[in-house]
């Protein structure tokens, strides 16, 4: 066990009393004592950045710079790749009900089977860089960038599409 993760933390996930911390270039760490002690649990992950974590039930999902999503089942000790390669580094993961969303710099993907298969979203996000996600009720809010403008999009499966809510430029 080490005192702290030894690289910048990119994402945190919690299941019960278990805390998972993803890091840049140094895998994922695990703590059962509110962070007093950490254990490296990177076995099975590719070398490189673990960009994001998400939880669905008792399974932890990790998005990596290796264009793939990995899972760590409850009480697991080795990460397993799930589904096929996605286009680009997986930089954000979000869970809404039984759907898992994976965002890359160029696409948004959805999985309804715990990551076994991924479907590219066809709601018009093809020219957007996905920067952030948040889930609320039946909707996913997606922070994006396209052509030097930033957008907040709302994706709602029942509506089956993304609708631009806000668009702004970071420069005057």
In angstroms, the CA 5 to CA 104 distance is 25
In angstroms, the CA 67 to CA 16 distance is 28
Q: Identify the CATH assignment for 9-122 out of 2.120.10.80, 1.10.3110.10, 3.40.1390.40, 2.60.40.10.
A: 2.120.10.80
Residue with the two structure tokens 């990790």? 62
In angstroms, the CA 133 to CA 154 distance is 10
Note the pLDDT of residue 85.
80
For residue 13, the Cα-to-chain-centroid distance in whole angstroms is: 10
In angstroms, the CA 109 to CA 106 distance is 10
- Strands of the 108-111 sheet, one edge to the other: 90-96, 99-104, 108-111, 119-120
Note the pLDDT of residue 4.
62
Residue with the two structure tokens 């009480």? 75
Residue 69 near residue 61 (C-beta atoms within 8 A): yes
- Enter the pTM of the model: 0.81
Q: Where exactly are the structural domains of the chain? A: 9-122
Mean pLDDT in consecutive groups of 10 residues from the start of the chain, 172 residues = 70 93 89 90 88 92 91 84 86 87 82 91 62 72 71 61 48 44
Type and span of the H or E element at 146:
strand 139-146
Tokens, residue 70:
């990995």
Tokens, residue 166:
């806000």
């Amino acid at each position: 066990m080490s005192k702290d993760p030894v690289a910048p933390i990119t994402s945190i996930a919690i299941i019960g009393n278990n805390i998972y911390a993803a890091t840049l270039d140094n895998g994922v760490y695990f703590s059962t004592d509110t962070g007093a002690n950490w254990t490296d649990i990177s076995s099975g992950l590719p070398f490189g950045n673990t960009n994001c974590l998400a939880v669905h039930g008792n399974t932890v999902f990790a998005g990596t710079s290796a264009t793939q999503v990995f899972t760590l089942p409850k009480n697991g000790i080795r990460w397993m790749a799930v589904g096929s390669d996605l286009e680009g580094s997986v930089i954000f993961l979000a869970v809404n009900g039984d759907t898992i969303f994976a965002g890359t710099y160029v696409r948004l993907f959805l999985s309804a089977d715990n990551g076994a298969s991924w479907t590219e979203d066809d709601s018009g996000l093809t020219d957007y860089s996905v920067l952030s996600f948040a889930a609320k009720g039946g909707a996913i809010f997606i922070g994006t960038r396209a052509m030097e403008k930033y957008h907040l999009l709302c994706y709602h499966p029942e509506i089956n599409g993304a609708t631009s809510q806000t668009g702004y430029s970071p420069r005057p």
